[in-house]
């Protein structure tokens, strides 16, 4: 879900867009660390819960 939202957001970005490059690098690092979408969703939920 998160990946799909980010893809939709960045799809229309210009080639060489630094935000797109940063998001791509973060995604590669997360995959290399063995994280999956469920892990990211859980971390985001925990982060949001701490701020309520």
HEC string for the chain: CHHHHHHHHHCCCCCCCHHHHHHHHHHHHHHHCCCCHHHHHHHHHHHHHHCC
* pLDDT (0 to 100) of residue 24: 84
Backbone φ/ψ region at 16: left (φ over 0), alpha (ψ -120 to 50), beta = left
The pLDDT of residue 22 is 87
Instruction: Kindly list the averaged pLDDT for each block of 10 residues, start to end, along the chain of length 52.
Output: 68 72 87 90 93 89
Domain boundaries, the chain: 16-50
The whole-number pLDDT of residue 12 equals 64
Question: Which pLDDT does position 40 carry in this prediction?
Answer: 86
pLDDT for the residue numbered 27? 86
The label of the residue with tokens 């590669």 reads 28
pTM of the model: 0.53
């Amino acid at each position: 879900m998160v990946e799909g939202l980010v893809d939709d957001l960045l799809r229309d970005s210009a080639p060489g867009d630094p935000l797109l490059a940063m998001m791509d690098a973060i995604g590669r690092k997360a995959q290399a660390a063995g994280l999956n979408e469920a892990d990211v969703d859980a971390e985001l939920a925990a982060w949001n819960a701490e701020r309520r």
